Amino acid sequence: MCEESNEIKWKCLQCDFLLCTKCQKLHKKVKTTNQHAIIDIEEIASHQQHIKDKLDNSNIPCRIHSGQNFSLFCKSCKEVVCSLCFIQNHNKHNITEFAEGYCLMVDTMKTVNSEKLEQNVGKNVLKEEIENHTKKLLKELDQRREVVMKSVNDAENISQKIIKDLDLRKKHLSQVLNSNNVNQVFGICSEDKILIQPGVNPVNTIFKTWPKFVQGKEEVEDFYLGALIETDNDQNEFIFKEIKQYKTEQNLVENLVSSPDGALWISDFYSHKLHKIKLTNVLLSFKIDIYSMAILPYGNLLMSTMESNLKILSFRSTKIDTTKYSVNPLITLAVHVTNDHKIIVGARENQTNSFPVNGPRQVIMMNIDGKKEIVYHKDNKGKPIFTVPYRITTDNNNIIYVIDVLDEKDNGRIVALDKTNGARWIAAFNKTNKVKWVYGGNPDITKEQTFKPKDLVATKSDNIIVTDDDNHIIHILNTSGQCIYYINTKDQLGIVLPYSVDNDNRGTLYIGCNTYQTYDAKIYTIQVSGF
């Protein structure tokens, strides 16, 4: 059916398309269709009758009964039959005229041919996607090989320097010993006390094995086709040590943000409370519904209250003001401030609940003046990236990591977005943006349990710490989306239901917890080595 006009006047018999006059003219000009038979739609009935009249079945012998010709069509069996076939085997079937059966079979063949064409197109698209992804993986392998070769060359240069220094030292020692000069012998001994201490870092001669390919899911996206992951069997070792704990009067520490002055901001949306605390007492309290919060330069607190504009609480006062950071007509969800003072906000349509989805779900980057610089909305296939962008963090390279909640049971995933820069911010505004990778939980943990991430934070060494309170698990990811370590906080640290998380400039980790409906949610101060 023509999509440009309702004035249908023609039909292409080969394509089985209805055409307007404009499309009919174009159809005749295209090389692949210029020989097709096109008739006026008013002649369709007479044309079909003409075909029926032209059909001659008098010379088509029955394959079963000698001396009989096909004269009928069995719609039940989808085959032509003679009169004896009908009497013996098809008398209770749905029988029609030979000509009508012919038309039915022609239509069926056209449908099958069209479906095969669509399948071939789909196969070609899939083949192209796989070839492009293969090239990408091979390029990634080449890049990793270059890194390893550079490391080998650097190690070889260091080794040569050490050997050269040792040879010179050996020669000098030999000369001093042969001189029998007491002053030089004692002098060289004093020097040796210093030289015994390694002045050059030891050479690391152990390299990780080449990454293996992990098969992806069926959908054709880079992060679904599969990826290269390290196959080092020695898991990174992180040591968690509790320093202190603090008991609140809340049943949930939903948000926890470390302030530059050493205090902590904590909140819980459903209890309508915001507190500034030291781990000994409450400093300030406010009654406000906070969905997410982040620290601005100079210590001001930026807050998402599920309205169109973010709010701000100045460290110099106790007054809460509305900011210029707006996502109107949407409402704000997650909020994060990057190292270079960009404001990143999760947003959704203005409705009471997050589900069902009835509008756009976005991650929006603004500059410090509130101007939108980029909107992450759809992937490079035109599909929405996010369901509920619940929490956001960035690493030292300003790569964005988002907790995306997928359903009402809080099942979720971590979505990493490709790094962008100032030149691309303008070009990419409101266009499709590429997903770097997606983490849906560690298979060792999620075989029987689902992944329900609640908060995340990046460390100084660009590890991503993710809390999963239902499973009492903390996941540590690298920038490639691999889970390089995880810990059961309940079994190993006695920390139940870890929910919110943040770290300070000293590397101290703060974990805010959920409770089983009791008003004694705890905050733990943790020292972690290995970050």
**Domains identified in the chain and CATH numbers:** 8-108 (3.30.160.60), 240-528 (2.120.10.30)
Asked whether the beta carbons of 469 and 460 are under 8 A apart, the reply is: no
Model pLDDT, residue 335: 98
3-state secondary structure of 468: strand
Strands 273-277 and 264-268: antiparallel
Write out pLDDT tens, residues 214-241.
555 444 455 445 555 554 444 566 888 8
Contacts of 9 (CB under 8 A, 6+ apart): 19, 20, 21, 24, 40, 41
Residue with tokens 């890049």: 143
With 50 as the cut, is the pLDDT of residue 197 above it? no
pLDDT band at 57 (very low <50, low <70, confident <90, very high): low
Q: At what angle do helices 98-179 and 44-54 cross, to 10 degrees?
A: 100
Asked whether the beta carbons of 240 and 511 are under 8 A apart, the reply is: no
Give dist(CA 167, CA 171) in Å, integer: 6
Write out pLDDT tens, residues 374-389.
999 988 788 999 999 9
3-state secondary structure of 447: coil
Strand order in the sheet with 483-488: 455-458, 464-468, 473-477, 483-488
Write out pLDDT tens, residues 454-500.
999 999 888 999 999 999 999 999 988 989 899 999 999 999 999 99
Rg (CA), the chain: 36
With 90 as the cut, is the pLDDT of residue 243 above it? no
3-state secondary structure of 222: helix
Transcribe 37-58 into DSSP letters: -EEEGGGHHHHHHHHHHH---T
pLDDT band at 202 (very low <50, low <70, confident <90, very high): very low
With 60 as the cut, is the pLDDT of residue 198 above it? no
Candidate ranges 59-68, 350-359, 426-435; pick with highest mean pLDDT:
350-359
* Token pair listed for 132: 């492009």
DSSP E strand boundaries for 34-127 = 38-40, 72-74, 79-81, 95-97
Give dist(CA 299, CA 177) in Å, integer: 64
Backbone angle region of 517, left / alpha / beta, with phi > 0 → left and psi within -120 to 50 → alpha: left
Query: Who wins on pLDDT, 267 or 209?
Result: 267
Model pLDDT, residue 421: 39
Lowest mean pLDDT among 2-16, 120-134, 191-205: 191-205
With 60 as the cut, is the pLDDT of residue 118 above it? no
User: What pTM does this model have?
Assistant: 0.60
With 60 as the cut, is the pLDDT of residue 344 above it? yes
Nearest to 113 by CA among 35, 2, 48, 16: 16
Residues 205-215, mean pLDDT to the nearest whole number:
52
Residue 477 neighbours by CB distance under 10 Å:
24
At residue 252, φ and ψ (nearest 5 deg) are: -155, 130
User: For 329-367, b where at least 16 C-beta lie within 10 A, e where not — what string?
Assistant: ebbbbbbbbbeeebbbbbbbeeeeebeeeeeebbbbbbe
